[in-house]
Amino acid sequence: VQLQASGGGSVQAGGSRRLSCSAAGRLFINYTVAWFRRAPGKEREFVSASKYGVGTTYYADFAKGRFTISRDNDKKMVYLQMNSLQLDDTAVYYCAAASFLHDNYYSVERYYNFWGQGTLVTVSS
């Protein structure tokens, strides 16, 4: 499956941004799709994931209550709605996919074998 992330840009602290991840390929419903991010000078980290099939969602602690992941299997799209953005949310956001990924590994990037190109979100004061 091929992924393309979009929706990045500049936003003021406290504002919102919605990222989109479009997929090309078959059987999108069979893929767990996740968002990761890499902030300047930091390692890439897990943000959120939507499980294949039923779409169970998972969030990093910093994302809970502020970010919402959703997916539209018919359109092969995954979204990340980000609210109450903070300065340290500035990062390149990547979407990634893995087929039938076990629940234990949804936050582990090495288990994702398909990656989008990343989209930059810059939060300013």
Q: What is the pLDDT of residue 95?
A: 98
Q: What is the pLDDT of residue 55?
A: 85
Q: What is the pLDDT of residue 25?
A: 86
Q: What is the pLDDT of residue 28?
A: 92
Task: Give the three-state DSSP class for 30.
Answer: helix
* Predicted confidence band of residue 26 (pLDDT cuts 50, 70, 90): confident
Nearest to 91 by CA among 54, 46, 37, 44: 37
Asked if residue 62 has pLDDT above 90, the reply is yes
What does the alpha-carbon distance between residue 7 and residue 121 come to, in Å, rounded to a whole number? 8
Q: Are 33 and 109 in contact (CB under 8 A)?
A: no
User: What is the arithmetic mean of pLDDT over 66-70?
Assistant: 98
Asked if residue 54 has pLDDT above 90, the reply is no
Nearest to 8 by CA among 114, 91, 75: 91
Q: What is the pLDDT of residue 80?
A: 98
Nearest to 21 by CA among 32, 29, 33: 33
User: What is the arithmetic mean of pLDDT over 94-98?
Assistant: 97
